[in-house]
Amino acid sequence: MADKADIHELYEESVQNVENEVEFLKTTFTELTGRTAYLFREDFCGTASLACEWVKQGKEFSAIGVDYDPSVLEWGRKNRVGRLATEEQARVRLIESDVQTVETPKVDILAAFNFSYWIFEERAQMLNYMRRCYDAINDDGVLFMDMFGGPESFEETKEKTKYKGFSYIWEQAEFHPITNHMQCYIHFKFKDGSKLKRAFSYAWRLWTAPEIRDLLLEAGFANVTVYWEGEDEDGEGDGVFTPNDKGEADLAWIAYIVAEK
Ligand SMILES: C[S@@+](CC[C@H](N)C(=O)[O-])C[C@H]1O[C@@H](n2cnc3c(N)ncnc32)[C@H](O)[C@@H]1O
């Protein structure tokens, strides 16, 4: 089963929900600006699934995806952009570039999701990236990022989640408390016992919410708001994110951070 599996499909099934993300992006943008967002840029786009979902909203909607890995962009071109209607395909542009140097037309929304921007482990480098994001959006543009935290995120642990036909394993293999550097892996395990070990690997700094917030303000953003997830009756996350200025002392949490120019 591992030999036949496609790691990009498994990744998306495990960690991405692009329909919900587009819904959150478009509603939040309209709440903040009173208008509709049309031009969207997805940094660290990988397979560009989110960019593809964005353009499905209609013929006025376009997206730019930026990633520096030609192989993942190629996969996205074939398996995600290629599956859109021809007319929709024309509204997705994928750029092979480092997000730190890319130049694009000014966009309404810029998103950096699945913590990819934590690849910038030095403060100056992170600030420089955020300043570039600020310059890359329109005057009423909005930057969306996500983050995770809670005491469990500072531990060296493994967490298994079961999906149909396979398990997704998130491993925080190393954590260095002096720098907050972490080495994480995604592994997949199949019903027949076969495995895809270290299908994805991430070397990140575990940034905390107040650090990210302060950096975005320092980069020039006028308002920075954290959107915290609500709970269902069992105390599990309900997928509904609303503005919150305190959060909850959960063991593990995921939130969005939204920066207005
Ligand atoms: C965790 S994946 C994110 C995929 C997708 N955006 C998501 O939300 O799940 C990280 C991606 O960032 C890309 N990447 C990492 N550093 C980058 C950089 N400096 N510039 C452009 N792309 C980068 C990698 O090639 C990889 O495809």
Please tell me the distance between residue 46's alpha carbon and the centre of ligand 1 in angstroms: 5
69 Cβ inside 6 Å of ligand 1: yes
As given in the structure block, the two tokens for residue 5 are 């599996």
Encode pLDDT of 217-247 as tens digits: 999 999 999 999 999 999 888 999 999 999 9
104 Cβ inside 6 Å of ligand 1: no
Q: How big is the chain, counted in residues?
A: 261
Encode pLDDT of 82-132 as tens digits: 999 999 999 999 999 999 999 999 999 999 999 999 999 999 999 999 999
Please tell me the distance between residue 96's alpha carbon and the centre of ligand 1 in angstroms: 11
Q: Look over the chain and give the mean of its residue pLDDT values, rounded to a whole number.
A: 97
What are phi and psi for residue 109, nearest 5 degrees? Answer: -125, 135
**Contact partners, residue 259, CB within 8 Å, separation at least 6:** 130, 133, 142, 143, 144, 145, 216, 219, 221, 223, 224
Torsion-angle region of 41 (φ positive above 0: left; ψ -120 to 50: alpha; else: beta): beta
State the Cα–Cα distance between residues 39 and 135, nearest whole angstrom. Answer: 15
Which is it for the CA torsion 101, 104, 109, 114, positive or negative? Answer: negative
Encode pLDDT of 157-166 as tens digits: 999 999 999 9
Encode pLDDT of 36-78 as tens digits: 999 999 999 999 999 999 999 999 999 999 999 999 999 999 9
95 Cβ inside 6 Å of ligand 1: no
46 Cβ inside 6 Å of ligand 1: yes
Please tell me the distance between residue 67's alpha carbon and the centre of ligand 1 in angstroms: 6
- Residue % of the chain over a pLDDT of 70: 100
CA-closest residue to ligand 1 atom 12: 44
Pocket residue to mutate for ligand 1, from 116, 147, 204, 256, most atoms within 8 A of Cβ: 116
Facing residues of 163 across strands? 166
Task: Kindly report the pTM of this predicted structure.
Answer: 0.97
Which parts of the chain fold into alpha helices (H)? 7-15, 18-33, 49-55, 70-79, 86-89, 123-136, 209-218
